[in-house]
Chains A and B, each alone.
Chain A
Amino acid sequence: MLRNLKKSLPHVVLLSYLLVILFPFLFVLFSSVKKDNNEIALNPFGIPKEFVFNNYVEAWVNAKISTYFFNSLYISIFASVVTILLGAMFAFAVTRMRQGKWNGILFSLVLIGMLIPNNALMLPIYTIVRKLGILNTHWALIIPYIANAIPFTIIILAAFMRSLPREIEEAAVMDGLKAQGIFARIIVPLTIPAMVTVFIVNFLGNWNEFLLANYFLSNDELRTLPVGMVQFRDQYQMNYAQMSAGIVYSVVPVIIIYAILQEKIIEGVTAGGVKG
């Protein structure tokens, strides 16, 4: 009896924590199929008597979810891919090419970038973006997103490339490959696993980014999902059932990706934890 209690106590504690994490999601999910605020107020915890899917239709139209969703998707993917390309080139040069002390100097310089609290740089970046004349275009997010993820990308890719044996490229040089060839045909294919991890971390970072997206774009058609959701909330604050449907739309894609790739994501994000 006592033994059983001792064994189940940790589970009781952990399951309560799990409830605290998961119940808010269930609350929103249930609310999203309730008719209106009144029904949420009368029956806050349970499943509604009749399911109202109209909220999803209304939210899709009113919140322009599809527009925001595709804006977010293409900005996040594009910026992450470019970061990886530029980061991989840099990492390759400083880990595999031989330029004496320059390798170390350049790498350490980028390392310092990890220590900079990037929100504090928002104002100068705003000025740069304005001077480039790209304020209120998607480039205003894409270019800073690419730049922002570069230090983390380089550190992870450089660590991975350093672990590849030297003999690989010696053989390639014998076969007459130049540095570009070694990079494109040998190092990049071998680095794919690390690139996938870095891609996931950068993608999630860009997908969730709020501050720049909120202040650098003012045209509604250009907005990304987090900013669009906040604006939708501000407009339809009184209709919580519809707002819940909006939240479900923005959360479900992330949960699906997480369900498929959770091991990769956990590994990558915690490695990126140094990034904060």
Chain B
Amino acid sequence: MNKALKNPLVFTLFVLPALFLFLMFFVYPIFSSIYYSLTSWNGVSDTVKYTGLTNFKKALGDERFWISAKNNGWFIIFSCFVQVPLIVLFSLLIANVKKLKGLYKTAVFMPAIMSTAVIGILWGFIYEPNIGLINKIIGLFGVDPIYWLSDERFAMLSILITNAWQWTGFYIVMVLAAILSIPGELDEAAKIDGATGVQRALRITLPLIMPIISIVIMLSIAGAMKAADIVIVMTKGGPAGSTEVMATYMIKYAITNFKYGYGNAIAVLIFMFTLVVTAFYQLVIARRNERIEY
């Protein structure tokens, strides 16, 4: 009876276009990256010279590469230790207020749908030393103007704050959805037993939303490893390369300086770093959370 749905020709025709694009833009690039990372190709010429692991040795010996890797690390640290506590706090607060819940949710989510490039421009204006919002505010307290984006001490922090400003609301909405899906009886029971609001939040809600917090952390790590456009728009990696991240370092070499082989070695390193960080998180931290839960 279901002959119509067993037609291999139709099946192939339906699957093929998407599969073709997938192979071409996801699978092939991985192998291509690995292959060219072992060469000194400039991206244009016909001859491709095999150079073994030279590119990797060069990258791992380059101080600038480590500065950019460290900045990716700052993205991760900032999201885990600054953003995540704020996300949990704000979502618990929003979940427990009676009025204005919808307004809070809608408003905090808004920056997440905007272009990172435009947000970078907007915050570039806010950080502007002479007329920008932040220096005007701290000026009210008599603090001297700070050159947020052109001072090596503050540039990275300024980017991290902008990034947090854009994405915190997004994660709040995710965690909020998890909190609101917890059955009300649990909270009721604790209330009857005399638990205070803070106790209920810490002992009932928090353990139950651990899995979603874990996802938030995983997504933040993935986002941190990919960060590039915000850096390009706000500082172009400067001042003096102090805000470079791995992706911008890769682009700088491969596209701007025609060191295509070297750029691909960086791409492979980004892959490996992502794998290591995610695996480390999954094995060491996420597992333990799971155990606490039960």
Contact = CB atoms under 8 A, between A and B. Distances in A.
A179 B7 contact: yes
A18 B103 CA distance: 9
A239 to B, nearest CB: 11
Interface string A228-249: 0110010000001001100100
The secondary structure that dominates the B interface is helix
B50 interface: no
Contact of A90 (B5, B7, B14, B112): B14
A106 interface: yes
Contacts of A5: none
Contact of B250 (A13, A31, A98, A123): A123
B169 interface: yes
Contacts of B120: 230
A240 to B, nearest CB: 6
Interface in B116-167: 116-118, 120-126, 128, 130-131, 133, 136, 165
B114 A273 contact: no
Given A14-B104, A86-B17, A243-B125, A210 B4 contact: no
Nearest to B120: A230
A226 B43 CA distance: 27
A121 interface: yes
B26 interface: yes
B232 A214 contact: yes
A14 B131 contact: no
B75 interface: no
Contact of B254 (A25, A90, A106, A123): A123
A120 B121 contact: no
A258 B261 CA distance: 42
B109 interface: yes
Interface string B10-50: 11001101110110111011101100100000010000000
Interface string A118-148: 1111111111100000000000000110111
Contacts of B222: 117, 276
Given A121-B29, A147-B22, A22 B4 contact: no
A8 to B, nearest CB: 10
A263 B232 CA distance: 32
Given A124-B32, A210-B233, A177 B4 contact: yes
Nearest to B130: A41
Nearest to B247: A119
Residue of A21, A128, A148 ringed by the most chain B CB atoms within 10 A: A21
A233 B270 CA distance: 30
Nearest to B226: A119
Contacts, number: 270
A93 interface: yes
Given A123-B263, A150-B21, A266 B121 contact: no
Given A97-B14, A118-B226, A119-B226, A173 B133 contact: no
Contacts of A86: 17-18, 21
A208 B132 CA distance: 25
Contacts of B19: 90, 106
Contacts of B264: 123-124
Contact of A208 (B26, B110, B116): B116
B26 A147 contact: yes
Interface in A253-276: 254-255, 258, 262, 265-266, 269-270, 273-274, 276
Contact of A10 (B25, B97, B118): B97
A195 interface: no
A21 B169 contact: yes
A230 B136 CA distance: 24
A40 B25 contact: no
Nearest to B133: A27
B114 A251 contact: yes
Given A98-B6, A273-B219, A210 B18 contact: no
A121 B90 contact: no
B242 to A, nearest CB: 20
A45 B16 CA distance: 57
A89 B33 contact: no
Given A97-B6, A126-B255, A113 B22 contact: yes
Interface string B158-200: 0000000100011001100100000000000000000000000
15 contacts: A21-B165, A24-B123, A44-B131, A45-B136, A94-B15, A113-B26, A120-B33, A122-B251, A123-B263, A170-B2, A179-B7, A180-B10, A266-B109, A270-B170, A276-B223
Given A86-B18, A233-B124, 7 more contacts: A121-B29, A151-B26, A204-B113, A211-B229, A254-B115, A262-B106, A273-B170
Q: Which 9 A-B pairs have the closest CB atoms?
A: A124-B29, A147-B25, A226-B117, A208-B115, A93-B14, A90-B18, A210-B229, A147-B21, A44-B136
